[in-house]
Chain A
Amino acid sequence: MRAAVRRVAMRLVALVRRDRVDGEAAREIGAHLALIEDDCRRRGMSPAAAARAARLALGGVDQALERHRQARSWPWLEDARHDLRLAGRAAMRAPGATLAAIGTLGVGLGASTAIATLAYAVLLRPLPFGAAPERLVRLVASTPNPVAPDAPLRRVPVALSLEEARDLDAASDAIDGAGLWAPTVLGLSGLDDAGHVGAARVSSTTLSLLEARPLIGRSLDPDDDAGTSGAALLGETAWRRWFGADAAIVGRSIAVHSVLGRRRSQTVQIVGVLPASFTFPAADTGLWLPLPPPAGPEPTRAALLARLAPGTSPAAALDAIGPAVRALRGHGPDVRYELVREQEQLVGPVRPALLVLTATVAVLLLIAAMNVTSLLLARALARAREFSLRAALGASRGRLIRQGLTESLALGIAGGLAGLAVATAGLAAFRRLASPLPRIDLGTTGVGWGATAFPRLDDAGLDGAIVVAALGLALVVGLGTGVAAALRAGRADVGPALRLSGASAAAGGRRGRLLRRGLVVAQVAGALPLLVGAVALGRSLQHLAGTDPGFATTNVLTFQVSLPPAAYPDARLQAFAEALAERLRQRRGVRHAGYANQVPMVALRDTAGGLWTTADARRPFAPDAADARVVSRDYLSALGVGVVAGRGFGPGDGAGQPRVLLVNEALARRQFPGRDPVGLTVYLGRDTTPWSIVGVVADVRQFGLDRAPEPQFFVDVRQWQGGMPLFPTGAYYVVATAGRPERLIPEVRALVHDLDVGAAVFNVATLDAIVASTLTRPRLYAVVIAAFAAVGALLSAIGLYGVLAFLVQERTPEIGVRLALGASRGAVLRLVLGQGVALVAIGLVLGLGAAQALERALTSLLYGVQPGDAATTAAAVALFVAVAAVAVMVPARRATRVDPIAAIRAE
């Protein structure tokens, strides 16, 4: 055994110190030869005869050396070293072609690696919630929207009390554990305005279902569920950011104030720190508290998180618990329940896009691979003379093939390394593109407050396994692209290539020509679907960006003000807001200044229990209740929202006056079809105070440019006394300016500071920026696919150019003869053009099918663009033809400039 190990080690030494060992062997064999000769001469032979006899006895010096070489190392490895050196030399001789091949492979492999990394991290990697995260489900309810029956259903979590959840769990075998949770936003008092943190109220069972393991301290106990212990868990990110990762945080008391809901200040004691990987209910949750104790006779209710029993499907579990929930909540049959897996909830919205990206990047990789194959083929033909020479000098066919494969493997590795660099840069660019305004209140990930347009992006990184897989793929692609070229090299014929001149030798035969044209056709066929996808997504984005949101977005500044809660009970909030708005109105360049509980595109909802025509103090919860907006008198004017019927709020609608409200057109259509709502009396939620509708205002796209306007009603802040807290998230101020709104920001800060030194301005953004932020995801998709399409189209155009340039070079003598015999330059031009047009046409026709399939897959990502739209296809074809025209025209024009005399003489 030791001898075997020693032998391997010695072989390695022999490989590394090859030249030295070889010299030593040559010396030994030379000495051996001399000894035999000496002997022969001593036996009376002539020197010449002795020399011959010695060689005969030894069996040839070279043969002995070769035997030595084969025994002392791994001959194939030595050959590979030699091949690599040759490959390096060949690469240096044509640096342009080599760089082009490495770059092409790098882009193809890099894009594939980046997308594969994303797809794995987002879709496949299990959530970091214990041993069986796939069994965790959320219970949501949805009601069809009677105004827009085709609109995606709005899913709302179904709220249960702790006792109800416990009973549900105990009564059903389908469920193995149930917890409650509710997302919120809290302010950490005593910190600056950045102290707003995504938070969650959770039952202790929720944390145990998710197998939360605190870094330090403890999790929440069942004792904490009463909501009176004041225990709280801090997130690792918040802990590092605000408390310098101080381990003494456990046991410390900190003051928090609610930002949503009734404004309350509360002191909590941190009992533990949860790791950054604990991302429930959203990635930016940084504080977990027990559910609050009930405020009245009703118990505290929150959304249900359940763990399915092993082997139970969500549908089966829903059958088991659905009827009980329906009875508990008093929902009608039109309310549909669903148990949504936690993973599905998180990644469901981006799955179609990721699958499309995966498919398109695979096409891109294929195009890149075919492009490099063409390049290698062309190079193999150009090097036909070199290979023929080597074949003539005795290189075996296998050896030549291996040489070709070594070159393509080296190329694959270089391409793979380039690809890793491209992938790293690509992922960074993807992350930048996927970052909307970093604000908790602009969440785009559905339930919970998410601030990224793409879930789980932080998990997506190039780790060891992905690097290995990418390099493996690079080797496969390298080999795949090299095989055709290597086989060609192996077929090197000694005769013809050496006899004929370079250009003629490079003709490569019929089969080679067919192969190269086939590759070009396939590249064109692959580029078309990419372009169709890019055009469709681009048009969709254009439609979205061009959609009229129903309010003025330019020259509008929005911001919020955080006030010390102790100094500002609800009664003083409105006074502060009105004072600030009044001071703003007096500024030069300010056209309107108003405030409201929410501004458009903020992903918060407040229904105040909805708007009804009858009073009902025991009204059940309605998931589709209209949105309530509490606004200042100037708010609708500041946003440019027009009054369609009746009147807007006037100076006479102050406190103590008859209660009036405005509804939007969507609400009028839904709740008062065919009737004029102006003058009707309505009731809000369970409140029995009558309100009268005095006007109808135009619809506004409140929740996204791609979402139809939803029913809303507006209440003047001066008359607001309902059960709904005033400005739950702190008022949003809206200032319409005459000039650039950004210029007003320092003045705003100064004004706020003047009014109260303890107040801080936060969430400052123009309405334009907020609206643009909602387009983050469609823009991301459009940009990525457009990049893929651009690269794919460019590569196939380059492939096309290569084949035609080759054709012109190959047929230069023939063209010369034709021209000499009187053919017109136009005829020559048509000859080359015809070839190019034929290749493009075949490729485009073949690509149409794939393009249609891709468009169907894109359906859910498109807005205002029909899949299979002829305009989209036509635009994509036109785009490609424009690029291809350049690739065709350059060689075609070169053909017309052939000098007949020079061409014929060259042959």
Chain B
Amino acid sequence: MASGDTSRIALLQGTLDLIVLQALRTMGPLHAYALATRLAQAADERLIVNQGTLYPALVRLEQKGWIKGRWSTTEHGREAKFYGLTASGTRALTRETERWRDLAGLVERLLAEGGR
């Protein structure tokens, strides 16, 4: 997906994807609600307005083959779809993290120059 697309929406999408992948790597397989709760805690609830907005990211990542959903039951006996990172997802996360850091660093530098 090295499309070089830097439009605002693509950037935001990519960002959310990256965060989801990272959460799944640290926490192991999660269902959408757990994922939303985890993101809300980590980001002071500033990241997602409502939990439904997670679904496009999940669909996208699963269609790319980076995560895989499996139906299972929660500790309270409820059924839920748990998403786990796949091998190609792990690789993608490494790659995308690097890219993100590069980009963030570059933007930071540019902003710093502009502030001077």
Contact = CB atoms under 8 A, between A and B. Distances in A.
Answer yes or no: are A and B bound together in one complex. Answer: yes
Contact of B51 (A7, A14, A25, A59): A59
A35 B33 contact: yes
Contacts of B65: 2-3, 6
A71 B53 contact: no
Contact of B56 (A35, A58, A67): A67
Interface in B26-77: 31-34, 36, 49-53, 55-57, 59-60, 62-66, 69, 74, 76
A59 B34 CA distance: 16
Contact of A10 (B31, B49, B63, B79): B63
Contact of A34 (B78, B88, B92): B78
Contact of A67 (B1, B3, B52, B66): B52
Given A35-B33, A38-B76, A28 B81 contact: yes
Nearest to B50: A59
Contacts of B78: 31, 34-35, 38
Nearest to A25: B55
- Chain A contact residues (Cβ within 8 angstroms of B): what range? 20 to 34
A59 B66 CA distance: 26
B74 A35 contact: yes
B80 interface: yes
Nearest to A61: B52
A35 B59 contact: no
Contacts of A2: 65, 88
Given A31-B80, A35-B31, A38-B76, A59 B63 contact: no
B52 A60 contact: yes
A4 B3 CA distance: 10
A3 B64 contact: yes
Contacts of A32: 31-33, 51, 80
A657 interface: no
Nearest to A24: B81
Interface in A1-35: 1-4, 6-7, 10-11, 14, 25, 28-29, 31-32, 34-35
A65 to B, nearest CB: 8
Nearest to A66: B52
A831 to B, nearest CB: 61
B31 to A, nearest CB: 7
A355 B51 CA distance: 67
Contacts of B2: 1
Contact of B59 (A4, A59, A60, A71): A71
Contacts of A58: 50-52
A63 interface: yes
Contacts of B32: 28, 32
Nearest to B40: A57
A228 interface: no
Contacts of A64: 51-52, 55
Contacts of B36: 57
Interface string B3-44: 100000000000000000000000000011110100000000
A71 B52 contact: no
A72 B62 CA distance: 9
A486 B115 CA distance: 54
Given A3-B88, A35-B80, A68 B59 contact: yes
A71 B55 contact: yes
Counting chain B CB atoms within 10 Å of each CB, the highest count among A28, A34, A60 belongs to A28
Contacts of A28: 32, 69, 80-81
B80 A3 contact: no
Nearest to A56: B50
Counting chain A CB atoms within 10 Å of each CB, the highest count among B32, B50, B55 belongs to B55
A10 B50 CA distance: 26
Counting chain B CB atoms within 10 Å of each CB, the highest count among A29, A38, A58, A63 belongs to A58
B51 to A, nearest CB: 5
A860 interface: no
A88 B5 CA distance: 40
Minimum-distance CB pairs A-B, first 6:
A59-B50, A64-B52, A71-B56, A10-B63, A3-B64, A59-B52
17 contacts: A3-B66, A3-B92, A4-B64, A11-B63, A14-B63, A25-B55, A29-B52, A29-B55, A31-B79, A31-B80, A32-B51, A35-B31, A58-B52, A59-B53, A60-B50, A67-B56, A71-B56
Interface of A: 1-4, 6-7, 10-11, 14, 25, 28-29, 31-32, 34-36, 38-39, 56-60, 63-64, 67-68, 70-72
Given A2-B88, A35-B80, A68-B55, 15 more contacts: A3-B66, A4-B1, A10-B62, A11-B63, A28-B32, A28-B69, A28-B81, A31-B31, A36-B33, A38-B78, A58-B51, A60-B52, A64-B51, A64-B52, A67-B56
